[in-house]
Amino acid sequence: MDYPALRAVQEELTGLINEATTEDGGYDLAKIRSISGTNAEKLAKIKALNARVAELKAVGEAAGNSSGYQSGDGARRPEGRGFPSTKGTAPSIGQGARQWAQEAAQTLTKAAEQHGVKALTSGAVDAPTMVRTGLFAMPSNPARLLDLIVDRQQVPGNEFEFLQQTVRTDNAAAVADAATKPTSIYTVASIQDRVRVYAHLSEPIPLRLFADHKDLSGFLESEMSRGVLDKLEADIVSGAVAGENVVGILNTSGVGATAYTASVPVTLRKARTAMENANEAPTAWVLNPTDAEGLDLLTTADGEYLVDSTAYANIFGDIPKVISTSVPAGTALLADWSQCWLIVRQGTTIDADHSGALFDTNRVKLRAEGRFGFAVNRPAAFRVIDLTP
């Protein structure tokens, strides 16, 4: 009997359920939506696991339990009530375990299916790419600039306040008995700001397309959410002080700057040296695709690509690189990305409307919208690098 296979499926379902359960034992659709992937991908994953459980239905037939099933913590629970427990390990193999796994998969499937055609033709739904909040580790292979901002602050209102360090002067020294200790200077300023609305509309879409193409809703959610986050990311870099946007790194007072010197590789290495001399510990580089291409195509005097040489590693060190169109061509960023906040008042949502003239023509229009802010806590931890001769 394939006990290991069933246990593996149950453990995977346990992971999904852990992300979806709430403290009161219920489940939260927002947490289900936070599971990585689009709605269509999440639903497909859950259905695949459910199908796998069905394939293993015959496992443990002799160990059936007619009076109930074992929850994850070993306690007996009535059949068909509430959301399966996720405490401890996966349930033991047998009839109860199969029932637990099937109910878990069915519960998640039902919740995920609530984000189908109906959700996108009336009302609002959270987008699958909603920015999660809290403090978490930077991914080992960050894919975009937003991945680098590991501190996400949820705020309850439109305004927020943060402290920004403006001066750091370390004057610590060895001090003789009875001598006056030196004074170091760590000046911070209280900055008041507000969140900004990032949004865009779709063109009117015939409603029949949602009925005829089941993947259309997930596609539109993904595309429109990406559009919102792409613009937010661009403003995090270049947002102007006077505009209706977050104030970007390039326009934040106190950010370090490295001027072009001799060549792009030399300039980048000098930027890294400047950060090291300032006792900063940068966590990632960010380069425009055009500048990244130029570096990849650089060759040595012998015609070998620099990217394959030790020199290339010496330039960047072991600091990861992110390639992003959010950074203008001819500019690079090197920063400790833990020294800034992404402020989230409202994660990305998708609203739909088919009233008025849209109702008469049987069409629907979508709006993707989120409310975000950005705060640089220590400008000295960021360095703007000019790569233009």
- List the Cα angle 321/337/193 in 5-degree steps: 135
Where residue 330 falls (left for φ over 0; alpha for ψ -120 to 50; beta otherwise) is left
- Is 117-389 a domain of CATH 3.30.2400.10? yes
pLDDT of residue 165: 94
Across the chain, which distance is largest between two alpha carbons, in Å?
88
* pLDDT tens digits for range 113-169: 444 444 444 455 444 444 667 777 777 788 899 999 999 999 999 999 999 999 999
pTM summary value: 0.66
Question: What is the pairing mode between strands 159-169 and 331-335?
Answer: unpaired
The 10s digit of each residue's pLDDT in 75-100 is 333 333 333 333 333 333 344 444 54
Q: Which residue has the higher pLDDT, 70 or 248?
A: 248
Residue-range domain boundaries for the chain? 3-114, 117-389
Q: Are 261 and 254 in contact (CB under 8 A)?
A: no
* CA proximity to 37, closest of 29, 45, 49: 45
Instruction: Report the pLDDT value the prediction gives residue 307, as an integer from 0 to 100.
Output: 74
DSSP letters spanning 268-299: HHHHHHHHHHTT----EEEE-HHHHHHHHT-B
- Whether the predicted pLDDT of 6 surpasses 50: yes
CA-to-CA separations, 256 to 189, 219, 332, 383, in angstroms, rounded: 18, 40, 12, 4
Segment (H or E) for 186: strand 185-194
Please tell me the total number of residues recorded for the chain in this structure: 389
Return the closest-CA partner of residue 338 out of 289, 377, 386, 291. Answer: 377
Q: Please answer whether residues 330 and 388 qualify as being in contact, where contact means their C-beta atoms are separated by less than 8 angstroms.
A: yes
Q: Kindly list the distances between the CA atom of residue 117 and the CA atoms of 56, 61, 104, in Å, as whole numbers in the listed order.
A: 32, 39, 23
The answer on pLDDT for 224 being more than 90 is yes
Phi-psi domain of 238 (left: phi exceeds 0; alpha: psi -120 through 50; beta: other): alpha
